[in-house]
Amino acid sequence: MKKLPLHVKIMIGLVAGILWAFLSSSLGWNQFTIDWIDPFGQIFIRMLKYIAVPLVLFSIISGISGLKDMSKLGRMGGKTLGFYLTTTVIAVGVGLLLVNIIKPGNLIDEEQRVRNRLKYENWVAQTEGVEILDGKHLLSDPQYSHLNQMEELSEAEKKMVEEKQAAASEKDSAGPLSFLVDMVPSNIVLSLSNDKLMLQVIFFGIFFGICMAALPDDKVSGVNAFVNGANEVFLKMVDYVMKAAPFFVFCLLAGVVAKMANTPAQVFEIFKGLASYSVTLVIGLLFLIFVFYPLVISSFVKSINYRKFFKKVSPAQFLAFSTSSSAATLPVTMEVVEDNLGVSKNVSSFVLPIGATVNMDGTSLYQAVAVVFMAQMHMVDLTVAQQLTIVLTATLASIGSAAVPSAGLVMMIVVLQSVGLNPAWIAIIFPVDRPLDMLRTVVNVTGDTVVSTLVAKSEGELKED
Ligand code: ASP
């Protein structure tokens, strides 16, 4: 057991956790799992999260202050954003292509779709400022009148939709430059204490690093030693936490599955209704993980072939899967990118923290697939122009999503609203969101590792073996 590589041990923990959850639910031990095993999973996420913020801060400062040539910073920034944007747009494109070819929404029972359509038209009639998107009016057609019944959302669904809507409207009411304003901290202590404000910490770190580099060495030698030392300490923390990761991942997965449903049969039941959607989305996400990224990396960096790539990045991928959070995975992403892929600290400390918040290929693909799926199951035909609006808003929404579980679901409200569809539709896909969130987080994190390697390669900062 001792000799097994870490990623294999983490995978064993992951599978064992799922098996345990199924076993415990069929034996009626779910409450035991939630009371006695799940808390260790929570502890794991907390540890990773508290390490992430100071690690980002210290590693950015030490990376930037160590740059000899500041024009390199601008160049690196440009490349980073360019690569991130390109991969995100490709991801949304893959999503739209798949959802238009497979048409998962059309696989749903015809009568149910007509009912959905009528509900949609009723919603449009009652909501100010929206119009029927495809100009058809089934409500006024007598042959469908017997299907027109207003179904209410259940209380629990209503509450969930309201909560997510409140979170989304905070983002939505903002002006066009608000993302720039949001990047600048007004109080760095507050930014450090809120994991949704990671970009502010990054901004502060970059500025602090630039100022350190601008001062003579003897003036900042104390700060320099402190920052580098603190950085090492946090990296050591990651090391220790990762040693126990297989156990923690077991607890985390057991807890997540146990909370999802009481029996394995219920889990399958939840999936059955949304199988066509889940399968389409999973195909898209797996395509990015197993075809797109390895292809990109092996064609630009000859020394990293297909198998090597996965061997090197898989600890971060498993962790992303178990935690559903790019932010919580960040410390480990940094470690694998530096130690296994050979990216220099200068590059990784700059590119990865930005990537964790800005680059979410999995989330943007998911938004594209989900919105079109929901439109299809409500018999709403979206034109190419409307689908392009989805590309744009899904890209922006994925940038605006926090790197925490279910953040993409909240931003979905913004995407639905932007094309004039009912935001309450998120209740439909909510039941299967968590497992899909786990997979899209793997994509988000893998995308970050790939882009940081490309930036490092183009800057001559990649140690190839
Ligand atoms: N959980 C995702 C992440 O942290 C974001 C999302 O799609 O909800 O990367």
Q: pLDDT tens across 275-284, in order? A: 899 999 999 9
CATH number (domain holding residue 120): 1.10.3860.10
The rounded distance, in Å, linking the Cα atoms of 183 and 179 is: 6
Please give the distance, rounded to the nearest whole angstrom, from the Cα atom of residue 430 to the centre of ligand 1.
14
Ligand 1 atom closest to the Cα of residue 356 is 9
Chain centre to alpha carbon of residue 308: 24
Per residue, the 3-state secondary structure of the chain, as one string, reads CCCCCHHHHHHHHHHHHHHHHHHHHHCCCHHHHHHHHHHHHHHHHHHHHHHHHHHHHHHHHHHHHCCCCHHHHHHHHHHHHHHHHHHHHHHHHHHHHHHHHHCHHHHCCHHHHHHHHHHHHHHHHHCCCCCCCCCCCCCCCHHHHHHCCCCCCCHHHHHHHHHHHHHHHHHHCCCCCHHHHHHCCCCHHHHHCCHHHHHHHHHHHHHHHHHHHHCCHHHHHHHHHHHHHHHHHHHHHHHHHHHCHHHHHHHHHHHHHHHHCCCHHHHHHHHHHCHHHHHHHHHHHHHHHHHHHHHHHHHHCCCCCHHHHHHHHHHHHHHHHHHCCHHHHHHHHHHHHHHHCCECHHHHHHHHHHHHHHCCHHHHHHHHHHHHHHHHHCCCCCCHHHHHHHHHHHHHHHHHCCCCCCHHHHHHHHHHHHCCCCHHHHHHHHHHHHHHHHHHHHHHHHHHHHHHHHHHHHCCCECCC
Q: Is the CB of 325 under 6 A from ligand 1?
A: yes
Q: Is residue 465 situated within a structural domain?
A: no
**Left if phi > 0, otherwise alpha if psi is -120 to 50, otherwise beta: which for 164?**
alpha
Please give the distance, rounded to the nearest whole angstrom, from the Cα atom of residue 439 to the centre of ligand 1.
9
From the number of C-beta atoms within 10 Å of its C-beta (0-12, 13-18, 19+), residue 81 rates as middle
- Mutating to test ligand 1, I would choose from 48, 49, 317, 404 the residue with most ligand atoms within 8 A of its C-beta, which is 404
Please give the distance, rounded to the nearest whole angstrom, from the Cα atom of residue 71 to the centre of ligand 1.
32
Which of 182, 227, 245, 273 has its CA nearest to residue 65? Answer: 227
Ligand 1 atom closest to the Cα of residue 328 is 4
CB 106 within 8 A of CB 378: no
Separation in Å, CA 64 to CA 230, 450, 452: 15, 21, 15
Q: What is the pLDDT of residues 22-62, one digit of tens each?
A: 888 888 888 899 999 999 998 998 898 888 888 889 988 98
Q: Is residue 463 situated within a structural domain?
A: no
The rounded distance, in Å, linking the Cα atoms of 229 and 226 is: 5
The label of the residue with tokens 């990865």 reads: 352
Please give the distance, rounded to the nearest whole angstrom, from the Cα atom of residue 127 to the centre of ligand 1.
30
Q: Is residue 464 situated within a structural domain?
A: no
Q: Is the CB of 322 under 6 A from ligand 1?
A: no
The rounded distance, in Å, linking the Cα atoms of 351 and 324 is: 20
- Report phi then psi at 77, rounded to 5: -60, -45
In degrees, rounded to 5, the angle at the alpha carbon of residue 160 between the alpha carbons of residues 157 and 162 is: 105
Ligand 1 atom closest to the Cα of residue 408 is 8
CB 80 within 8 A of CB 224: no
Domain count, the chain: 1
- Mutating to test ligand 1, I would choose from 323, 360, 366 the residue with most ligand atoms within 8 A of its C-beta, which is 360
Please give the distance, rounded to the nearest whole angstrom, from the Cα atom of residue 433 to the centre of ligand 1.
11
Low-confidence ranges of the chain (pLDDT < 50): none
Please give the distance, rounded to the nearest whole angstrom, from the Cα atom of residue 333 to the centre of ligand 1.
15
Q: What is the pLDDT of residue 80?
A: 93
- At position 100, the amino acid (one-letter code) is N
Can you state the angle between helices 384-400 and 70-102, rounded to 10 degrees?
130
Domain of residue 136 covers 6-458
CB 415 within 8 A of CB 390: yes
Please give the distance, rounded to the nearest whole angstrom, from the Cα atom of residue 364 to the centre of ligand 1.
10
- Report phi then psi at 376, rounded to 5: -60, -40
Please give the distance, rounded to the nearest whole angstrom, from the Cα atom of residue 407 to the centre of ligand 1.
6
Ligand 1 atom closest to the Cα of residue 411 is 8
Q: Is the CB of 164 under 6 A from ligand 1?
A: no
Q: What is the pLDDT of residue 281?
A: 96
- Report phi then psi at 253, rounded to 5: -65, -40
End-to-end distance of the chain based on CA atoms, in angstroms? 28
Please give the distance, rounded to the nearest whole angstrom, from the Cα atom of residue 137 to the centre of ligand 1.
37
Which residues lie across from 312 on neighbouring strands?
A: none
Chain centre to alpha carbon of residue 69: 33
CB 228 within 8 A of CB 62: yes
Q: Is the CB of 408 under 6 A from ligand 1?
A: yes
Q: Is the CB of 357 under 6 A from ligand 1?
A: no
Q: Is the CB of 446 under 6 A from ligand 1?
A: no
In our burial notation (b when 16+ CB lie closer than 10 A, e otherwise), range 51-65 reads: bbbbbbbbbbbbbbb
Q: What is the pLDDT of residue 370?
A: 93
Q: What is the pLDDT of residue 239?
A: 85
